[in-house]
Structure 1
Amino acid sequence: MSKRKSKENSLTLRECISKMQSILRERFCYHNYHGKRFGVESQHKHLLELLKRTVVHGESNSALIIGPRGSGKNMLLKDTLKELMEMKQVKENVLEVHLNGLLQTNDKIALKEITRQLSLENVVGDKVFGSFAENLAFLLEALKKGDRASSCPVLFILDEFDLFAHHKNQTLLYNLFDISQSAQTPVAVIGLTCRLDVLELLEKRVKSRFSHRQIHLLNAFNFSQFLKIFQEQLSLPAEFPDVNFAQKWNQATQSLLESKIVEDVLQKHFNSTKDVRSLHMLLMLALSRVTVSHPYIDASDLLEASRVRGMDSKANVLHGLSVLEICLIIAMKHLHDIYDGEPFNFQMVQHEFQKFIQRKAHSAYNFETPVVMKAFEHLHQLELIKPMEGLSVRTQKEYRLMKLLLDNCQIVEALHKYPNCPTDVRQWAISSIS
């Protein structure tokens, strides 16, 4: 019986890899944090206690979770809500309303979204309200069962909180904070933002109704903890269908940490960013190299993934340019050096290019002005150059001031990798004399 059971639980190598990639890709793409969290214990405890007072004791609260992008604000909130809902004393009728400043661009759209998420479209019907406050108060009144103790607690989650501060008169924020201070339905307003100066954006009447509770997040883990995060994110769970494959995969992951190459790659990554989402991108690139003939990630996979991730996208664009466009970029480089970063126009670039042609006596590079202008415009479309801001649009395109969006290192490095680049063009690029 045990043999039959173990046979049923074992999968082919192809099936194991397919299942493994499905699990890990979902984790990396949706940034589902797997494993122990570091550096957010006190913030987690603070937020949990705050929400518990709203959900269990009927208190209304407001708070801001502030931290740079990728510091784990949504992760912290998601985990806290999950733990909150698993508590025995928490009511089953807790309601959550999730708003995002990128989607709800004004208060009218936000109110419609609140109505939809609270499933109160039929209650509102065709009623006409005198003000935003009346409409919101009616929605919350509709949730009441009786007294304060038996009312439905509502958690308002405002992602990209700073964008709501740009709404006209900040009506939504004013009313949410006002309700969170009154003895009405228990409400918790939690804002998530990456702006440290977010309170300066609030009007006085809004700021006076905010509790001024702030939970700051920073990636406060060290490199040894970062290595543990790396191992946890790449490990397969215990419930993986094929136990043998899961064990071998996790052992291979453990052995990666013993490699000096892998340690150097992760140290370089850690020094540039502690963002777990960025680590997910690195692991996703390494995971894409796993096949049936190469079933486990090794040090070379991570090294290649790090190289691809650190690749300069603008330098890659240069590899696909024509020789004429490369010559114009080099002319701009020299103008940038001569005039100490001052903007240039098409006439200046063409004049610099003509000097190179005359010096080399090359008829092969002698293009007509419309052709050169077309190449110049193509560089603008590729966003390798951009027009200076605040200038009149009526200026002729030959005299419109432009700015180069590449530095000298990017240009020289791209020319070294440029296929079949003419020798005189390469020499022109590295020469300091224009």
Structure 2
Amino acid sequence: MRDIQNIVSPRVTSPAKASSVKRFPQRETTPTRPKTSVQTSSVLPSLHPPRTEDAASPPPSPKPLPTTPAKSPRKRNDVAAPQVSPSRLPRALPSNLYPALNAQKRATLKALHEISVLPQGDSEDDDNTEPSANTAAFNQLRGLLTGTVERGEGNSCMVIGPKGSGKTQLVERAISTLPEAPIVIRLSGFAQTNDRLAIREIAWQLAEQTGQSLLPPEQDETVQDDENPFIEPNAEVAVTLPPPSHLLALISMLPTLPRPTIITLDGFDLFALHARQSLLYCLLDTVQSCRAVSGNRGIAVVGVTTRVETINILEKRVKSRFSGRIIRTAGLPLFDNWIGAARHALCSPIQDESECDWSNMWNASVDSFLHDQQVVRLLKETFTLTKDIRVLGRLLVATVIALKPSSPALSTSELAAAVNKQRYPPRFSFLSSLTYPSICLLIAAAHVRTSGHETFTFEMLHDAFQDQVRTSMSAPVTVDGGGIGMAFEKLVSLQVFVATASAAAGIGKEFMKYRCDADRSEIKDAVDKTGQLSLKKWLTKAQ
């Protein structure tokens, strides 16, 4: 029986064990295979084929083949480079373009010599809704002079504007656009320092433009009898000046000349400083009495000055004869206008139009030059210092002169050198080489100036230095020693610190008042060159 039970019991228990053993591998194998098949079929259908194709995966080796044709465009670019060169200036100019370069230099230098803030060509029709101040001033002055030339009127006006705003060019352009060429007399208050010199200059210019002697008939014979060994006997036109007794009569006869007369007075405020203002009174009185009649040809007096209150320094009798017309000019208000004026001058057309390729290359090089970051920075710094367009012309002239066949493009280094020559040299270029205590005193002086005190004493700077040492605890100099005092005396000897008053008796040196001639920007540059982080932090506290 035991044998039978032993035989039967394993049969009862073994199936359970067998079933449990059989079910465990089924849970491992049967669920996992469908998951892999579903994932591979749904997510990566390209991997659904059997593994036999995975073994054949190395054939994607032909993929590097597309890289081989990529070398051919490089070769093509190298070959096609000469086709792009006509739009750019080469580094070394070919010999056939030497005449074009010389012609471009002449045209550009002429344009830079006559560079103006006035609108050029089609620049008047900009997107701006209202015309610029110079355009309105030009139209007003041209209309005034047109009335003098065409209708024989007597007019007077004053052109006022800052230096470099195009006052003289405005007057000259208005005269050049008149329908009839008038007699133009140009006087300057810097050359004609008194009325006698001014009247003699008027007589000289009238004699040159009319070709007639302005002497009375009875004076001609006496002058002809006198022999002057320095005058050629066969001279075409003998210009003679009237005697002083007849000089004042010249002004009254100006309206009766065969052509209209325009008198320009540069430095009008300087003529107002002459004794009794006799010249201005005679000119303006003649203008006021001029009427549009058949015998008169018209006269106009145009004063040019930078002084705004010039009309207030005129005498009452002179002011009553002045028309009161004031025409105002202005410089270029925006930096983009400066760049536009520079581009217009640099891209001046040359006379030889056969070199079309040269014009395209030159214009492209000018555009790339004006868009260079360093060029923009240099010009913007100059624009912030002065808006005088003549300064821009001088900078570009030095750059254009440096052009040569080996370097036909405008150079940024030449422009930087020209900017350095035009600016004043730094007064205190040695600040960065000073000792640590000296630079600390400079920073303390900047603190004092920021607090609103232009003058200071040694004790004030010493206290500021002590406070900084206590807060930072990093100063390689003794506070109580003589290092600070010696540094202060060194700055005084270098005239960085200047005494505001002479030393008085009974006042110690430490209580004398000084001022710092070094600007904050110069102190900042010196601190930056030292590389001391603690000094930089201390300087920024003064802002």
Shorter-normalised TM range = 0.5 to 0.7
Contact 2:375 2:415 in 1 (8 A): no
Task: Look up the equivalent residue of 2:240 and give its one-letter code.
Answer: N
Contact 1:59 1:186 in 2 (8 A): yes
Rounded Cα–Cα distance in structure 2 between residues aligned with 1:274 and 1:83 = 27
> Which of 300, 317, 323 in structure 1 is aligned with 2:427?
317
Helix, strand or coil at the partner of 1:122: coil
* Paired position in structure 2 for 1:103: 191
Rate the CA distance shift 1:175–1:292 in 2: closer, same or farther, 3 A.
same
User: In the alignment, does 2:491 pair up with 1:407?
Assistant: no
Contact 1:324 1:365 in 2 (8 A): no
> Which of 251, 265, 268 in structure 2 is aligned with 1:140?
251
Task: Look up the equivalent residue of 1:375 and give its one-letter code.
Answer: L
> Which of 28, 36, 41 in structure 1 is aligned with 2:112?
28
- Normalised by the length of structure 2, the TM-score is 0.56
Rate the CA distance shift 1:402–1:64 in 2: closer, same or farther, 3 A.
farther
Rate the CA distance shift 1:159–1:150 in 2: closer, same or farther, 3 A.
closer
Contact 1:100 1:160 in 2 (8 A): yes
Decide which structure has the larger Cα Rg and report it: 2
* Paired position in structure 2 for 1:180: 287
Rounded Cα–Cα distance in structure 2 between residues aligned with 1:291 and 1:416 = 39
Helix, strand or coil at the partner of 2:323: coil
Task: Look up the equivalent residue of 1:96 and give its one-letter code.
Answer: V
User: In the alignment, does 2:494 pair up with 1:375?
Assistant: yes
Contact 2:492 2:498 in 1 (8 A): no
User: In percent, how many aligned pairs have the same letter?
Assistant: 25
Task: Look up the equivalent residue of 2:428 and give its one-letter code.
Answer: L
Contact 1:60 1:181 in 2 (8 A): yes
Helix, strand or coil at the partner of 2:141: helix
User: In the alignment, does 2:277 pair up with 1:170?
Assistant: yes
Deviation at 1:216, TM superposition (A): 2.0
Rate the CA distance shift 1:431–1:83 in 2: closer, same or farther, 3 A.
closer
* Paired position in structure 2 for 1:68: 162
Deviation at 1:404, TM superposition (A): 3.2
Rounded Cα–Cα distance in structure 1 between residues aligned with 2:457 and 2:192 = 43
User: In the alignment, does 2:212 pair up with 1:118?
Assistant: no
Superposition map of 1:270-285 within 5 A: 272=384, 275-284=388-397
- Normalised by the length of structure 1, the TM-score is 0.67
Deviation at 1:424, TM superposition (A): 11
Superposition map of 1:283-432 within 5 A: 283-284=396-397, 286-287=399-400, 290-297=403-410, 301=412, 305=415, 309=419, 316-320=426-430, 323=433, 331=441, 334-335=444-445, 337-338=447-448, 340=451, 342-344=453-455, 359=479, 374-376=493-495, 403-417=515-529, 430=539
Gaps of 5+ in 1: 1-9, 380-384
Rounded Cα–Cα distance in structure 1 between residues aligned with 2:480 and 2:327 = 64
Deviation at 1:62, TM superposition (A): 0.4
* Paired position in structure 2 for 1:3: none
Superposition map of 1:189-204 within 5 A: 189-204=301-316
Gaps of 5+ in 2: 1-93, 125-131, 208-213, 215-238, 291-295, 467-474
Contact 2:188 2:265 in 1 (8 A): yes
Rounded Cα–Cα distance in structure 1 between residues aligned with 2:363 and 2:329 = 31
Q: What RMSD, in angstroms, separates the aligned Cα atoms of the two structures?
A: 5.0
Rounded Cα–Cα distance in structure 2 between residues aligned with 1:190 and 1:161 = 9
Deviation at 1:189, TM superposition (A): 0.8
Rate the CA distance shift 1:353–1:110 in 2: closer, same or farther, 3 A.
farther
Aligned length: 389
Task: Look up the equivalent residue of 2:265 and give its one-letter code.
Answer: L
User: In the alignment, does 2:137 pair up with 1:43?
Assistant: yes
* Paired position in structure 2 for 1:4: none
Rate the CA distance shift 1:62–1:260 in 2: closer, same or farther, 3 A.
same
Task: Look up the equivalent residue of 1:180 and give its one-letter code.
Answer: V
Contact 2:444 2:461 in 1 (8 A): no
Q: Deviations over 1:368-397 (max 9, x none)?
A: 97x876533xx5xxxxx7776xx789999x
> Which of 362, 372, 379 in structure 2 is aligned with 1:249?
362
Rate the CA distance shift 1:59–1:427 in 2: closer, same or farther, 3 A.
closer
Rounded Cα–Cα distance in structure 1 between residues aligned with 2:531 and 2:363 = 50
Contact 1:155 1:188 in 2 (8 A): yes
